[in-house]
Amino acid sequence: MQLAMYEYIEVNLVGVVLLLTMLLYARGRRLGIEQRDFRRMLLCNMLILLADNGIYLLRGHSAPGLIALNHLVCIAYFSLNGLFCYNWVRYVLARLYPRYRPGRRTFLLLLPALASAAFVASSPLTGWAYTIDSGNEYHRGPLLLVLFLAAIVYWLFSTALVLREYLYPTRSREKAEYRTLFAFPLPMLIGNLLQLRFYGLSIVWVLASLSMLILFIDMQNAQLTRDALTGLYNRRQTNSQLAWEIAHLHSSPDLLLAVMFDVDHFKKINDRYGHLAGDSALTLVARTIRDNCRKSDFASRFGGDEFLLIGHIRSAEDVESLIRRISGALEAESRSGALPFAVTMSAGCALFSSADQVTMDDVLNRADRSMYEVKRRARGDEEKGL
């Protein structure tokens, strides 16, 4: 029995080392919302495994202070379960909706985790979630299933979000991007069911560390499709997305939209203020495009100071409204004084229907020509003093 316990502790420690490695890798990097939630999940998972080991190591040591310590470890163990699930939902929201920002409504997502923590905290008195006997040994409480059901609420909610976007008729992501989000909870759900069925088996959070590894690998692969400076999709992913859009153009009832944005006088910004200032301008433009496009749009840094937006639209009037919203938001940001110079951009668009026979070059060239025509007219107006 003692040997089995030490083997179990060793497996947990392997999981801790794996999670710690991922956590240290993310340390010091510029993290977006989803990466910060991922890091919190790593920390929760690691602390849960350490708490699990603590429960095993305290078994049989019945000094009063150690029994009290075991209660604290058990409360931390179960409370962190709910916090992990909460951060998973936040991660899914940030992954699916690039414009998502935590707000007051986010507190509602925290309620099941808080309720679980309160339920567990009462257990030293009620014995609902767990009990600890005079020998300082942990036992399940009669209502432990309540904690499992709270976790199920989070898993079902996140799966419903992913399924909704997966079935969205004009989604900008390919189906493969949703597979990891669908699969992530499955090992933990299976582990929970096995633990409920076989008393003494504790594998949920070891399996969770493997799920975190898969998610980590998926995130690293995603970095290959992102521009390092702006966080938008890069040219490589743009080509893949555009090829997918053209292949499915005939089955879409809407128009395929391509908008090319170009930062005005970008060379002058670099020459006068330096390349770091130019990078700040590009970052501001990228953030403005991302925050003001629609959730189904695909935004990328096409190259240099050019950005591309791909999406579906019903009419040309809707295109004008979209471009005005993005340009207006950039103008407002520029007036706020965030940078010591004004940042503006020119935009040209191209529209294609299901009846059009187009290639990738056709889409890009038409959007590019439209954008340069806008620039040419603007220069003409400047020369006339308009």
Q: What is the pLDDT of residues 290-347, one digit of tens each?
A: 889 887 789 999 989 999 999 988 887 888 899 999 999 998 888 887 788 889 999 9
CATH architecture of 2-223: Up-down Bundle (1.20)
Report which listed range, 104-108, 171-175, 203-207, is most confident. Answer: 203-207
Residue 101 has pLDDT above 80, yes or no: no
d(CA 245, CA 236): 15
Lowest mean pLDDT of 152-156, 173-177, 245-249, name the range: 173-177
Task: Give the per-residue pLDDT at 175.
Answer: 66
Please list, in sequence order, all residues whose beta carbon lies within 8 angstroms of the beta carbon of residue 380, skipping any fewer than 6 positions away: none
* Per-residue pLDDT at 169: 53
Query: Tens of pLDDT along 339-373?
Result: 888 899 999 999 999 888 889 999 999 999 999 99
Question: Regarding predicted confidence, which is higher, 48 or 221?
Answer: 48
The answer for residues whose C-beta is within 8 angstroms of residue 95's C-beta and 6 or more apart is: 34, 181
Sheet harboring 255-263: ordered strands across? Answer: 298-303, 306-313, 255-263, 345-352
Q: Domain limits of the chain?
A: 2-223, 235-383
pLDDT band at residue 73 under the 50/70/90 scheme? very high
> Half-sphere exposure of 254 toward its Cβ, with a 13 Å CA cutoff?
17
Q: Do domains 2-223 and 235-383 have the same CATH topology?
A: no
Residue 249 banded pLDDT, cuts 50, 70, 90:
confident
pLDDT tens figures, 164-183? 888 865 555 556 668 888 88
Q: What pLDDT score does 198 carry?
A: 81
Which pTM value belongs to this model? 0.71
Determine the pLDDT at residue 69: 96
* 8-23: average pLDDT: 92
Contacts 24+ apart (CB under 8 A), 14-21: 15/45, 15/46, 15/49, 15/205, 15/206, 15/209, 16/46, 16/49, 16/50, 16/209, 18/209, 18/212, 18/213, 19/45, 19/46, 19/49, 19/209, 19/212, 20/46
| Residue 56, SS3 per DSSP | helix
Asked if pLDDT for residue 206 goes beyond 80, the answer is yes
Model pLDDT, residue 173: 58
Residue type, 253: P
Which residue blocks in 167-223 are alpha helix, DSSP H?
176-183, 186-197, 204-223
- The residue assigned the tokens 């998502």 is 100
Q: Mean pLDDT for the chain? A: 87
Domain 235-383 has CATH 3.30.1360.120: no
